[in-house]
Chain A
Amino acid sequence: MSRIEACFEKLRSDDRCALIPFVTAGDSDPTITVPLMHEMVAAGANIIELGVPFSDPMADGPVIQRASERALAYHVSLTDVMGMVAEFRQSDNDTPVILMGYLNPIEVMGYAKFAQAAQVAGVDGVLTVDLPPEEGAELMSLLSDAEIDPIFLIAPTTEDARIETLCTHGRGFVYYVSLKGVTGAASLDVEAVSEKVDQIRTHTSLPVGVGFGIKDGESAARVAAVADAVVVGSVIVNLVEACAGSMDKTLDQVAALLRDIRTAIDAV
């Protein structure tokens, strides 16, 4: 059983919703990432989503683009990111880690080399934002050989036939993007999210995670009422930006935010 599967199974038996924080690897500097991952787990994170910096993050908003720029100022590469995962694994062998990023750094490394290195590092899932299943057969097959789950996004505009395709190719969980727009965008219509999550569940028994637009305990709790996981990204990255330069401050503030969100979603 994969770490992601085991994680959701445990949460299901405890009747809890997963909390998945997102941070960009190497933001605000490369030394912060591994301590921050541990701190987030201690504050209640169940799965860590680690952004791989890319120069042209087309599907992300300005907050996460700036995070990529901060990491790239230190030339944080895909190899470096896997190094961080390997370091994290030295003292945490349970918490699943998902890499989220864009295809080009993986193309340049080579699919086979990437899949193997990710497996050795202890990566559990890969969400390649700009690789739809139609283009991804080769990478998906190599990831599958390496026992890594490919994770796919589903959008508000995704119709039934494509939801079926995405759920067939996805493993671990499916990630519903809860609003039209880029990461860090404004409003969240929980009723619409609830309807779409129900629609997704008619296609799959995979857990459904929901992200985009979740900024505090209150919005997380409303999403947790309908989803199996809440993904929190831009609001954390904003904190990392505000605390740039201070490791202690970064860890404290991100942990405090996650504890609030944890408490709120556990009360649902």
Chain B
Amino acid sequence: MSNSTDSPAGAPEFAGPDDAGHFGPYGGRFVAETLMAALDELRAAYEKYLKDPEFLAELDADLAHYVGRPSPVYHAKRWSRELGGAQIYLKREDLNHTGAHKVNNCIGQALLAQRMGKTRIIAETGAGQHGVATATVAARMGLECIVYMGSTDIERQKLNVYRMRLLGAQVVAVESGSKTLKDALNEAMRDWVTNIDNTFYIIGTVAGPHPYPAMVRDFQTVIGREARAQMLDMTGRLPDALVACVGGGSNAIGLFHPFLNDTDVAIYGVEAAGDGLETGHHAAPLCAGQPGVLHGNRTYLMEDKDGQIIETHSVSAGLDYPGVGPEHAWLKDTGRANYVAIDDQEALSAFHSLTQIEGIIPALESSHALAYADKLARTLTPEQSILVNLSGRGDKDIHTVAELDGLKI
């Protein structure tokens, strides 16, 4: 197996993907022939520019001056004390421009698009965070932007839809299938096949055909690289555990990847258990699904006995996806990372705790990670530490939470 990314020596099993985009049996390139040439072109550009000092310098400058990186690591002292266990540290991706980690990847891919001479950007979005980040970056670069979004999601995320329109993006309602994120992804793929000459498809997560899972990861590992140095700086040692929520898994892999060879650091990916794993109404393919092929890669999926993809359920639209990035599938099988699930109620409770105790309103997605950190902290000592990726802020979720609390704003 050859490596397409640099990795510290000692744990080559985590150095994926191989040349064909495989992480163990997962990943790969399962697409129609109509997409192959575009994927080859993208891969060549990605491999070229990720080694190009000028490209990397421009990316770093944008991350510093436009996104506001590095994002801080914050020691949540009051909350930690209240839990009476491990010290909890938060990687504040919620403080990025546009309010979540999504923009790290969008900047990277948009710079690639520019270098490839593409003038039209397309994207899929579920909760709207990736759509907003894409529309933001497209506006700044003067690129045409079309965002595909399921009509169900458009209905429940009106604020983000308007935000994208303000930024000049065209938001296209997708009426097929379950009318959510997976259908938006199908539709974006169709657009790409049809307009391949001038169009760049910015996928928002570490899924899809090679090179997307590796490329999106590489743009998101800035999270983990910063956090690793920040923890060493603040505490003199690495954290005992990492916790991040997993929908497609981009914020989680961004945090986890730079720690994979630090084998003393336990890793927890938190999926959405929705109404509870036992009800079947959830979005937890790693915890309760099985391997299959969807959206260009082999990974764990939510599917029925005939191999049809089934609808997912979560209070958090950003975790409402029936697949998961293939590298997570591999980290699960190798045992390097543990995948757990948090249900809607637990996530909401953590949402309120962090808001009231630390004055930080977290996204409902990130609240899943916080809820697991809450459980985990209680099993550890005050001398130990947990680093949680606070992947996004909760402003977008205020209406959802108010409604669940029986309030009308």
Contact = CB atoms under 8 A, between A and B. Distances in A.
A180 B34 contact: yes
Interface residues of B, number: 39
Contacts, number: 126
Contacts of B197: 180
A132 B308 contact: no
A96 B305 CA distance: 28
A105 B301 CA distance: 12
Contacts of A79: 306
Given A59-B193, A185-B194, A177 B34 contact: yes
Q: For chain B, what secondary structure do more than half of its interface residues adopt (helix, strand, loop), or is it mixed?
A: mixed
Interface string B296-313: 101001010111111000
Interface stretch (A6-14, A151-159, A196-204): A151-159
A62 B30 contact: no
Contacts of B127: none
B177 interface: yes
Interface stretch (B64-72, B226-234, B273-281, B287-295): B287-295
A131 B34 CA distance: 12
Nearest to B28: A135
Interface stretch (B182-190, B343-351, B356-364): B182-190
Listed residue (B290, B298, B306, B308) with the most chain A CB atoms within 10 angstroms of its CB: B306
Given A58-B186, A134-B20, A108 B303 contact: yes
Nearest to B301: A104
Nearest to A130: B30
Given A104-B307, A130-B296, A182-B194, A56 B186 contact: yes
Interface stretch (A69-77, A219-227, A251-259): A69-77
A154 B33 contact: yes
Contacts of B37: 155, 157-159
Contacts of B30: 103, 130-132, 135
B177 to A, nearest CB: 6
Contacts of A154: 33
16 contacts: A55-B308, A56-B183, A59-B32, A59-B193, A62-B176, A104-B293, A104-B307, A104-B309, A105-B307, A132-B29, A132-B31, A158-B36, A166-B33, A177-B33, A181-B190, A182-B34
Given A152-B33, A155-B36, A177-B33, 4 more contacts: A65-B176, A104-B303, A107-B298, A162-B33
Interface of B: 20, 28-34, 36-38, 176-177, 182-183, 186, 189-190, 193-197, 290-296, 298, 301, 303, 305-310
The 6 closest A-B pairs by CB, nearest first: A108-B307, A105-B307, A157-B37, A59-B32, A181-B194, A77-B306
